[in-house]
Amino acid sequence: MSFTLAKINIEVWSDIACPFCYIAKHHFEKALEQFAHKDKVELEWKAYQLNPNVPEDTHGESLIDSFVREKGMSKQQAEGLFANVVNMAKQTGLDFHMDKVVVANTINAHRLSHFAKGKSRKNQNDIEELLFRAYFTEGKNVNDKDTLIKIGINGGLDQQELENLFNNHDFADKVISDIQEAGVFGITSVPFFVFNRKYAVSGAQPSNSFLEMLNKVYND
């Protein structure tokens, strides 16, 4: 008797402020395009915060200035670090502008992602892409509610529902639940991909590594 796997459920713990999460997203999507059974894949984004202590108002502080202040490194060291990230992103086809990045608490961005997931997994994936692009390419403040509403509208979501979302604290509990679940799983860095709650891939692995895992899970 042959067995056909019904679905491959993939959960991705990620933070909008994580450049490697954005890079990994595109590596994974490239692998998915090559996967013969991509119609069986269901992807779900899970919230994680690299720095939950970022204040609600950072007064537009740049990421470079933040690193200099928090990490104790020189501006030249920070610029060199980010140059490497920009080059890595470029190889993936992404256009990072680290000098434009505005430091922001990401909980509201994660709330928007959860709201989109309530519509469909595709809606959520589209919103994640727009959020990453807003943060790393466009230099937008992803904690600003007006900015998030515009991102949601661009992602095909209803304006009135988005305004209601940010007039309340809806989905904040979902964000917290994701972060707590990450702790249960021992996740301490992102991106972290979990396949059918059985296998995991950590970090911005190359596309062929994701493709190998997809085939492994399908044939398991």
Helices 121-136 + 107-119 axis angle, to 10: 150
Residue 183 has what pLDDT? 95
Residue (of 127, 103, 110, 95) closest to 23 by Cα position:
95
Pair of tokens at residue 26: 């595109």
Domains by residue range for the chain, with CATH: 8-55+106-219 (3.40.30.10)
Helices (H) and strands (E) in the chain, counts: 9, 4
- Indicate whether 1 pLDDT > 50: no
| Band (12; pLDDT cuts 50, 70, 90) | very high
Return the amino acid letter for 31.
A
pLDDT digits (tens, 9 = 90+) for 22-48: 999 999 999 999 999 999 999 999 999
Q: Which residue has the higher pLDDT, 65 or 9?
A: 9
Q: Name every residue whose Cβ is closer than 8 Å to that of residue 198 and which is 6 or more positions away in sequence.
A: 217, 220
- Indicate whether 193 pLDDT > 80: yes
Question: How confident is the prediction for the chain on average, in pLDDT?
Answer: 94
